Structure 1
Amino acid sequence: MPTDFMTTTKTLEAMTMPFTLKFVMAKSSPLTDDVLTTTINAVNHSLQQIDQDFSPFKSTSLVSRYQRGDLTPDQFTAQFQEVFALASKAQSLTAGAFDPYFDHQRYNPTGLVKGWAIQRIFERELAPLLHTTDLVAVALNGAGDIQMGVRPDHPYTWHVGIEDPADTHQLIHQYALQNGAIATSGTSQHGQHILTQTSSTALTQATIIASDLIEADILATSAIAMGQKRFTQFTTHYLTHGLLVDRQQHITHF
């Protein structure tokens, strides 16, 4: 990173995974500690609240209560309704490849909650800083799914490495991005919420670049469920790009 920039990084724990906040600022005009602390606390509060409401592992969460049938419609929060609508829309648009009922036919939106949470928190807590402060760039990363932004008209660029699914200590590609989102899904680390196919076109990993993380996350999950041939046909309707890794470790860029 150029010497005229400084980076502040904070890791938060939620949803049984690490979330990393990165703030990039000019050394000549760093953010005050108060702004950083307030922002970090707000992000952490949102992550913990979303974890409490949407975790399928917590008996008191809204998702668990809905699964048991003891959450009445008047108890649906605005967030619960938004996620439910997004999950239903994703299921319809992908012809069932994205399936919020993969969990023994019980509603479980795990496949999109992380991406949705990161995007919404970024929009509410982080993106405004790029217009109201001297912050150069900011990103929120949840286990490899990232929403990132750069101050308008600034040349700063994020460099995002994609891990090799066969060896997570190696990278198979690197993207240079300013504003947007990147999501990676695969059977090696995230397959617990994806029902995959067993054909010769099956994929072990899919990385999607998009303007927002909700779309990227849904498409990455759907790619693993669909397999390469079906997904390639499906994405002709989307202005997106990324890479696919099949079981023979062949990499396809699109």
Structure 2
Amino acid sequence: MGTVFSVTARGEDVTPQALDEAEAWLRHVDAVFSTYREGSEVSRIARGELAPEDSAPEVREVLRLCERAREQTDGWFTTGYAGGFDPSGLVKGWAVERAAEGLLAAGATGVCVNGGGDVQLHGGPWRVGIADPLHPGQVAAVVESQQGTLAVATSGPAERGCHIVDPHTGRAPADGLASLTVVCEGLTDADTWATAAYAMGPQARAWLEAQPGVTAFAMTPDGETWSVTP
């Protein structure tokens, strides 16, 4: 998926095979959903060679989740940019969340799966640092999870440049943020909501405040911060 993944699993019952299966799942997702592989199902759908209803079950699941995210965000999350088809904004978070669930099912008592800085946690304790987009190598905030399930996703231009646009205009959001982090229970939602809220620009804070069970942390290009708590 063009980024680095790491997996940490705690528990006496976790086997090397469980870790291998988590890695195999992530590689499978990359092969099926990559927009850079000509033979992937997503690329074939984009070219009109494969009807979505004829795609693999996991592709149909992602398409349903993308439609749900579009409805939840009033169209700020979308798979269609510039007339194309790209569900990448949801796939990574969904894949990481599923990988973490697989490790729990294999007997792990604590799980941390990190996909390019977006993290799914189970058990605890865990501490997740949120990178400071204005000062590389420094941490802007820390998310702590003692027990339970928690996901942390960050969107912004610091690592990959400006890659999130307003889907209504096709341009970068006005008054764009340096970074926006969303914390909630599952990484599928955290990832899509962080992407959509970043695209909203100045509307992001009010929208996030209206979402139940969501914590958010944002930094502006001049170093100012704001946060949202449930």
Q: Same fold (TM over 0.5)?
A: yes
What's the counterpart of residue 199 of structure 1? 174
Map Cα deviations across residues 48-67 of structure 1 (whole Å, 9 max, x no partner): 11100000000000110011
Distance 2:195 2:51 in 1: 29
Question: Is contact 2:134–2:221 with CA below 8 Å preserved after alignment?
Answer: no
Whether 2:9 is the aligned partner of 1:23: answer: yes
Question: Is contact 1:111–1:193 with CA below 8 Å preserved after alignment?
Answer: no
Whether 2:38 is the aligned partner of 1:59: answer: yes
| Secondary structure at the counterpart of residue 178 of structure 2 | strand
Whether 2:112 is the aligned partner of 1:126: answer: no
Measure how far apart 1:253 and its partner are. 1.6
User: Where do residues 1-254 of structure 1 align in structure 2 (5 Å cutoff)?
Assistant: 15-25=1-11, 30-31=12-13, 35-73=14-52, 75-102=54-81, 104-123=82-101, 125-129=102-106, 132=107, 135-150=108-123, 156-177=124-145, 178=147, 179-190=149-160, 193-196=163-166, 197-200=172-175, 202-227=176-201, 229-235=202-208, 236-254=210-228
| Secondary structure at the counterpart of residue 237 of structure 1 | coil
> Normalising by the residue count of structure 2, what TM-score does the alignment of the two structures yield?
0.89
| Secondary structure at the counterpart of residue 195 of structure 1 | coil
Question: Is contact 1:122–1:147 with CA below 8 Å preserved after alignment?
Answer: yes
Determine which structure has greater relative contact order: mean sequence separation of CA pairs < 8 Å that are 6+ residues apart, divided by chain length.
Answer: 2
Please list every run of 5 or more consecutive structure 1 residues that lacks an aligned counterpart in the other structure: 1-14, 151-155
Measure how far apart 1:175 and its partner are. 1.2
| Secondary structure at the counterpart of residue 168 of structure 1 | coil
Distance 2:197 2:161 in 1: 12
Distance 2:9 2:227 in 1: 30
Map Cα deviations across residues 167-194 of structure 1 (whole Å, 9 max, x no partner): 2200011111132111111112245541
CA-based RMSD of the aligned residues comes to: 1.8
Please list every run of 5 or more consecutive structure 2 residues that lacks an aligned counterpart in the other structure: 167-171
Measure how far apart 1:74 and its partner are. 5.2
Measure how far apart 1:114 and its partner are. 0.3
Question: Is contact 2:112–2:120 with CA below 8 Å preserved after alignment?
Answer: yes
| Secondary structure at the counterpart of residue 75 of structure 2 | coil
Measure how far apart 1:112 and its partner are. 0.9
How many residues are treated as equivalent by the alignment?
220
Amino acid at match of 1:169: G
Identical aligned residues as a percent: 30
**1:74–1:164: structure 2 CA closer, same or farther, 3 Å change rule?**
closer
| Secondary structure at the counterpart of residue 84 of structure 2 | coil
Question: Is contact 1:203–1:223 with CA below 8 Å preserved after alignment?
Answer: no
Measure how far apart 1:84 and its partner are. 1.0
